[in-house]
Amino acid sequence: MKSILSTKIVALLLFVSLCSFKCKTDDVIEINPEDLAAPEITIITPNENATFYTDGGMDSPDYLILQANATDASTIIRGSVTVKNSAGAEVYYYEETAATQNNATITTIYTSFRTSEPGTYSLIYEFEDSNENVSQVSIVATCIFSETDPYSDEPS
């Protein structure tokens, strides 16, 4: 009987304490109806026609740093980079959203890409503001086959 009473008291105290604290809600993203312009994108890296080498080879770099910045009069709610191979198939996708960043504006995309497949790759950066204005910039990079080190202890 005593343990049931103490369990009920603990449950009541827990309920009261949870009800008395107010969690801070995320800021609401405001829409600026006068902003008709899409975000302006600046690609930081890589440069157009950059080359890199296949993952696991002797040459470097064997990856690309994918970085772009964007500016806009409104909150930028999404930034992404898509990598497509020469056949147009998506081989990599990275996205940042305001929803996953406490509704903070997304001004930078930063990630990396590596592959074991040589070829030409399209890098498509895209940003969207809270008014659904979308901008996109794409460049091309080339991955060159790199021989593996025959003296390496790592398995091929």
Tell me, what's the pLDDT at 18?
A: 43
Kindly list the domain boundaries of the chain, sorted by start residue.
Answer: 38-144
Tell me, what's the pLDDT at 8?
A: 57
CA distance 152 to 156: 9
Tell me, what's the pLDDT at 12?
A: 47
CA distance 98 to 78: 6
CATH code for the part of the protein at 38-144: 2.60.40.2550
CA distance 14 to 10: 6
156 class by beta-carbon count within 10 Å (0-12 exposed, 13-18 middle, 19+ buried): exposed
Collect all residues with Cβ–Cβ distance below 8 Å to 6 and sequence separation of at least 6. none
Q: What are phi and psi of 32, to 5 degrees?
A: -105, 100
Tell me, what's the pLDDT at 155?
A: 58
- How would you write the pLDDT of the chain (156 residues) with one tens digit per residue? 555 545 555 554 445 444 444 433 446 777 888 889 999 999 999 999 999 999 999 999 999 999 999 999 999 999 999 999 999 999 999 999 998 888 889 999 999 999 999 999 999 999 999 999 999 999 999 999 999 877 766 655
